[in-house]
Amino acid sequence: MNKTSTDILIVGAGPAGLAAAAAAANSGGTVTLIDENPRAGGQIWRAELGKIRSPAASKFLRALTQGRVDLINSATVFAFSGDNTLTAQTPGGSISISCGKMILAAGARERFLPFPGWTLPGVFGAGGLQALVKGGLSIENKRIVVAGSGPLLLAVADYLKTHGATVLVIAEQASAAKIRRFARGLWRQPEKMVQAAALRARLIGIPYKPDTWITRCRGPRVSKRLARELEVTIKSRGSSRVIECDYVACGFHLVPNLELPMLLGCQIRDGSVSVGDHQQTSVRDVYCAGELTGIAGIESSLIEGEIAGLAASGQTEKAKTLIKKRDAATGFGRALDHTFALRPELKHLVEDDTLICRCEDVSYAQVKDFATFREAKLQTRCGMGPCQGRVCGPAVEYLLGWEPASVRPPIFPVKMKYL
């Protein structure tokens, strides 16, 4: 195993981690940025960084290339040992990095809710389908239903449309009233207003249906057109209709990747990491920024990252000047949480034979009578497969009201020899 050390270690090279690295890079100490992907950029910028379009992304990339930040790509952090040391698996072996201060910026993932048919071929996560297209899947002339909740649905629909697909509908479970209130609040954030207006213009022609959610999916079967197609049932205030399509892109907003902060023992409240004014967590020398502290979008990730980078590198005065701006940005996150909170009807989509845990083939009937996640895990192995509960965990927490299960290393599957 390779061992190194650094003054500031940042996990996650998305907007938050990049902003933290750029802010800390001027402080004189050594800064190391580590990410599991072959490229920096996180969920938004990763695919772009070869051919940068967004000015913000290029600014940070410059900070990286100026050599003050040591970037380690394709390295998945899977374990932590007490002396502020993280261990990661890379294609070339495992590395362990000890550090003075740590900034966690591990981002978020989509939340999936099980419904009958959610595991059929052709049914993807919204971000998941986007990633497949980025990876080369052709969706030219494919008919796609986009469903679930949250602003990501709009971004994904836009992306799919730009790549030649016909988006039949965007089914948003949140209520029309909440969405209207949310849209009215955007004036407080001019950049968001502009983005929203631009997005709306690009999505013209695609029905955006609030108060609407998917209840089941059937197929794929061979249609009259001799194509394999899915039959999706969507429900809108009491009335249901069936739509035929090629793909479904379905995700219910985002949930923070809490495994690493939980492993370190950071205090979690209401599903995100609790942080103070300088993004410090309850654990000494550990800071958190970006979606880990709550789903609040890219502006918030950037400013939180900057504060964390400044604070961790001792530039606290400078960090203080950003607190107000940060609080405004995280306010947007609270509005998101409120607007896209899941409606109770979604708890009743599952049927007894609906799979809950795809890794271990565990059905809803097998888990529904347990009082705790731990018992269900032990008895049925729900959440114990290779994804380690990343998919079914948030779903059962919502469906059954369970507390999140405890976390222990390795937080990602790792080759035995690197344990």
Partner 1 sequence: MASNKKTFDAAIVGAGIVGAACAVALAREGLKVLILDSSSAASGTTAAGMGHIVAMDDSPAQLALTHYSQKLWRRLAPELPASCEYENCGTIWVAANADEMSEVHRKKAVYDENGITAHVLDAQALLDAEPNLAKHLSGGLLVDSDAVVYQLAATRYLLLKAVKQGAEYRQFNSVASLSDDGVGLPSGERISAGTTINAAGAHAGDLSPSLEIRPRKGHLVITDRYPGFVRHQLVELGYLKSAHGSDASSVAFNVQPRKTGQILLGSSRQFNSNDDAVDNAILNRMAARGFEYMPALKEMSAVRVWTGFRPATPDNLPYIGKVTGFKNIYAAAGHEGLGITMSLGTAELLADEIMGRESPIPRQPYSPGRSAASS
Ligand X SMILES: Cc1cc2nc3c(=O)[nH]c(=O)nc-3n(C[C@H](O)[C@H](O)[C@H](O)COP(=O)(O)OP(=O)(O)OC[C@H]3O[C@@H](n4cnc5c(N)ncnc54)[C@H](O)[C@@H]3O)c2cc1C
Q: Which does 109 bind (CB under 5 to 8 A by kind): ligand X, partner 1, none?
A: ligand X
Q: Which does 410 bind (CB under 5 to 8 A by kind): partner 1, ligand X, none?
A: partner 1
Strands in 262-314 per DSSP E = 268-269, 272-273, 286-288
* Beta-bridge mates of residue 124: 249
Q: Does 87 bind ligand X (CB under 6 A)?
A: no
Cα-Cα-Cα-Cα dihedral sign, residues 16, 19, 20, 21 = positive
Q: Does 254 bind ligand X (CB under 6 A)?
A: yes
Instruction: State which of positions 397-416 bind partner 1 (CB under 8 A).
Output: 408-410, 413-416
Q: Applying CB under 6 A, which of residues 76, 87, 94, 212 lies at the interface with ligand X?
A: 76
Q: How many CA atoms lie within 13 A of 380 on its CB side?
A: 25
Q: Helix H segments across 54-151?
A: 55-63, 126-134
Q: Which does 414 bind (CB under 5 to 8 A by kind): ligand X, partner 1, none?
A: partner 1
Q: Does 15 bind ligand X (CB under 6 A)?
A: yes
Report the distance separating Cα 196 and Cα 25, nearest Å: 33
Q: Applying CB under 8 A, which of residues 169, 388, 397, 405 lies at the interface with partner 1?
A: 388
**CA distances, 45 to each of 52, 60, 105 (Å):** 8, 11, 15
Q: Does 358 bind partner 1 (CB under 8 A)?
A: no
Report the distance separating Cα 333 and Cα 338, nearest Å: 9
In 3D space, the residue among 350, 348, 413, 370 whose CA is nearest the CA of residue 89 turns out to be 413
Q: Which does 417 bind (CB under 5 to 8 A by kind): ligand X, partner 1, none?
A: partner 1
Rounded to a whole number of angstroms, the minimum distance from the CB of residue 237 to ligand X is 29
Report the distance separating Cα 126 and Cα 149, nearest Å: 10
Q: Applying CB under 6 A, which of residues 4, 5, 7, 44 lies at the interface with ligand X?
A: 44
Q: Does 81 bind partner 1 (CB under 8 A)?
A: yes
Q: Applying CB under 6 A, which of residues 22, 31, 33, 42 lies at the interface with ligand X?
A: 42
Q: Does 380 bind partner 1 (CB under 8 A)?
A: yes
Instruction: State which of positions 136-195 bind partner 1 (CB under 8 A).
Output: none
Q: Helix H segments across 212-265?
A: 259-264
- Residues making contact with partner 1 (CB under 8 A): 79, 81, 360, 371-372, 374-375, 378-381, 384-386, 388, 408-410, 413-417, 419
